[in-house]
């Protein structure tokens, strides 16, 4: 027996049982689910950073979708905010690294 206490994808218990194993699971409160997904987000980001696999980025997005769903936040609203910020501040496509910032009166 292996013990876990983490949020998993909705079909995982069914997949486990179809494999011939059994499992014990519970449905947690929305607050617990959001906290669990926030932990899962860190886990998935770490996995992406270790592997650099696009599949891990897909997992990151799925966790973000789950958090938005549980918090009743529409992904379209998140995308709208993302685009507004991109319009005002730019995106990350050009690979710009900031090295120094000087006050107006400082000499370079």
Would you say residue 71 lies in a domain? yes
Q: Is residue 58 part of a domain?
A: yes
The pLDDT of residue 9 is: 97
Domain membership of residue 58 as a residue range: 28-89
As a whole number, the mean pLDDT across the chain is: 96
Look at residue 14 and tell me whether its pLDDT is greater than 80.
Answer: yes
Per-residue b or e along 77-97, where b marks 16 or more CB atoms closer than 10 Å to that residue's CB? eeeeeeeeeeeeeeeeeeeee
On whether residue 76 sits in a domain, the answer given is yes
43 belongs to a structural domain: yes
Instruction: Name the pLDDT band for 99 (thresholds 50, 70, 90).
Output: very high
Residue 97 lies in a domain: no
63 CB-contact burial (10 Å; exposed 0-12 / middle 13-18 / buried 19+): buried
Quick check: is 80 in a domain? yes
Residue 106 has pLDDT above 80, yes or no: no
């Amino acid at each position: 027996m292996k013990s876990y206490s983490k949020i998993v994808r909705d079909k995982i218990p069914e997949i486990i049982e179809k494999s011939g194993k059994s499992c014990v699971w519970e449905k947690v409160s929305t607050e617990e689910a959001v906290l669990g997904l926030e932990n899962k987000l860190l886990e998935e980001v770490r996995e992406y950073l270790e592997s650099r696999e696009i599949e891990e980025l897909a997992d990151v997005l799925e966790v973000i979708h789950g958090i938005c769903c549980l918090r009743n936040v529409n992904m379209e609203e998140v995308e709208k905010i993302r685009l507004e910020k991109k319009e005002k501040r730019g995106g990350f496509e050009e690979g710009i690294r900031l090295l120094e910032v000087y006050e107006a009166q400082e000499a370079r």
